[in-house]
Chain A
Amino acid sequence: DAGVIQSPRHEVTEMGQEVTLRCKPISGHNSLFWYRQTMMRGLELLIYFNNNVPIDDSGMPEDRFSAKMPNASFSTLKIQPSEPRDSAVYFCASTRLAGVEIGELFFGEGSRLTVL
């Protein structure tokens, strides 16, 4: 079975440019999470969706970041305009939400973003 699929795997862009990261969760999973990983701050939860609805976006750093989940099989994380401090590895993860219990999170391989 395919795991969580993220694209692009690597992105190098210049400050001020728009960046769009994409995620396809595991089929049948109804919760999707976006995390950011840096050496300084570790793994930070940015936003998560249940059944395509954003539940908690308190981790989104600022208005330059936005995330959407138009359907159960696709999500995007957009940064506009990008800044050098956004350089990080962005992970998407999904799980099957059973009742209110959180289960095992399945992570993609990440999108490494470098903003020059």
Chain B
Amino acid sequence: QQQVKQSPQSLIVQKGGISIINCAYENTAFDYFPWYQQFPGKGPALLIAIRPDVSEKKEGRFTISFNKSAKQFSLHIMDSQPGDSATYFCAASRAAGNKLTFGGGTRVLVKP
């Protein structure tokens, strides 16, 4: 049973454009929502994370938006660059559970 659903599976964006990835979760006990970035041949690495007490968090060109009532959160990559081409995973966990559940991943290709 997939507890975190991620879409789209892939997207292509032009350099300078905005990449948007959406995730939805089912378990209302989740209270930690990180995004991981994975380059080919490498392991995932933490990009940015949010907790449900805030609706938005921004770090550079990366922004997480969180909608607790809809049980959805999204990643926006502003001014997308070719170096952003990677697979992005949303994830969720219960702090008390110490177990991170990942979405299915989104392969992003930024064309120069």
A residues engaging B (CB < 8 A)? 4, 31, 33, 35, 42-43, 45, 48, 50, 55-56, 91, 93, 97, 100-102, 104-110
Contacts and interface: CB of A to CB of B under 8 A. Distances in A.
Contact of B42 (A31, A93, A109): A109
Contacts of B45: 106-107
Nearest to B96: A100
A18 B78 CA distance: 47
Interface stretch (B14-22, B54-62, B67-75, B98-106): B98-106
Interface of B: 32, 34, 36, 41-46, 49, 89, 93, 95-105
Secondary structure of the B side of the interface? loop
A48 B98 contact: yes
A31 B49 CA distance: 19
